Structure 1
Amino acid sequence: MANILIVDDDPDILELIRFYLLREGFKISKACHGIEALEAVGQTKIDLAIIDVMMPKMDGWQLCSRLKADYPEMPILMVTAKGETNHKLKGFNLGADDYLVKPFDPLELAARVKLLLKRYKIHTAMKLQIGKVLLDKHRYEAVIDDVPISLPLREFDLLFKLASYPGQIFTRNDLIEQVWGADFFGDDRTVDVHIKRIRDRFAELNGSFAIETKRGLGYKLVVHE
């Protein structure tokens, strides 16, 4: 799954973008200024950067220029409150691939991110293989030996999330936020119920993968070779 870096010194904008992109299934990295963004890029693989223009320490223009010099294949979406033509031209001349003016529709931003990833041919996984099970997000099906099995939406999304990052521990809160959404007001024990259903559903394939409970931490999926 593509990892999106969001760079903005406004925590509200940062959280708004993060919330909507998490709902689309992206992995998120965050930075509040250009220097922090460069540190993030140096520590993990970033597939696309969303950059605010007006920031302390290193503004968006400088960051865009640095990123395009060091990572020319990384798509960049500039976000700013200034909509004048000369600002857009400056961004494009520095290598920005797209430009969005605040206030913006978060759904439009998510759509532009997907288009940029598609333009750069960056893989956004819609199918995952975990042992004998193929998860197909286009159809929301699990396929075992060419036999499709339909799953309830939440069970599929929960399994797909865990399978996207095998070996990574997710807390209940992580899974609630990324699968049910930050506006979910139910009991976080609903995660336990759905995990049990998934385990029961795939019990006969216990040699293929397992969802392990890490006491006091959360859950992780392990694929058995």
Structure 2
Amino acid sequence: MKNVLIIDDEKDFCQLVQGRLARKQMSLNCAHSLNEGVSKLQTTHPDVLLLDNNLPDGLGWKQAGALQKQYPDMRIILLSAFDPLSYEETGVGLQFTRMSKPINFQELEQYLA
């Protein structure tokens, strides 16, 4: 069973993703800020992190590099309501998947398979 952590301040979005992926027999946890998410990373050890780019306490892409170094086996999927490729900074030395919101669940399920 895959363990997934979602860090997104939109509670409705988290519930939607949880509901959709629960049918795929995945263990899901949600955090609604970077601080809460970093704490949950230490206890849940997810296989995959769905990380929103624009959070109340910071930008996801700015944390992605540090999280990637700290958890090298964890896959990071950066989520953004804006075109994630338009963020120049996200391409500098970081390797993660970028997905736009609204999310395409078929595409997400392929990434998680």
Q: What whole-Å deviation, never above 9, does each CA across 1:118-147 have from its counterpart, x for those lacking one?
A: xxxxxxxxxxxxxxxxxxxxxxxxxxxxxx
Map 1:23-102 → 2, pairs under 5 A: 23-83=23-83, 85-87=85-87, 90-93=89-92, 95-102=94-101
**TM superposition score normalised by structure 2:** 0.88
Instruction: Kindly state the Cα deviation for residue 35 of structure 1 after the two structures are TM-superposed.
Output: 0.9
CA shift, 1:72, in A, is: 1.8
Could you tell me which amino acid in structure 2 is paired with residue 101 of structure 1?
S
The AA in structure 1 aligned to 2:107 is: E
Query: Is the 2:77–2:97 contact (alpha carbons within 8 Å) kept by the matching residues of 1?
Result: yes
C-alpha root-mean-square deviation of aligned residues, in Å?
Answer: 1.7
Q: What TM-score comes out, normalization by structure 1 length?
A: 0.47
Percent of aligned pairs with the same amino acid: 25
Residue 111 of structure 1: aligned partner: 110
Partner of 1:167: none
Q: Which residue of 2 aligns with 1:159?
A: none
Structure with more relative contact order (C-alpha pairs < 8 Å, separation 6 or more): 2
Uncovered stretches (5+) of structure 1, i.e. residues with no partner: 115-225
**SS at structure 1 position matched to 2:6:** strand
8 Å contact from structure 2 (residues 84, 99) kept in 1: no
Gaps (5+ residues) in structure 2? none
How many residues end up aligned between the 2 structures?
A: 113
Structure possessing the higher radius of gyration over alpha carbons: 1
Conserved? CA contact 2:84–2:100, under 8 Å:
no
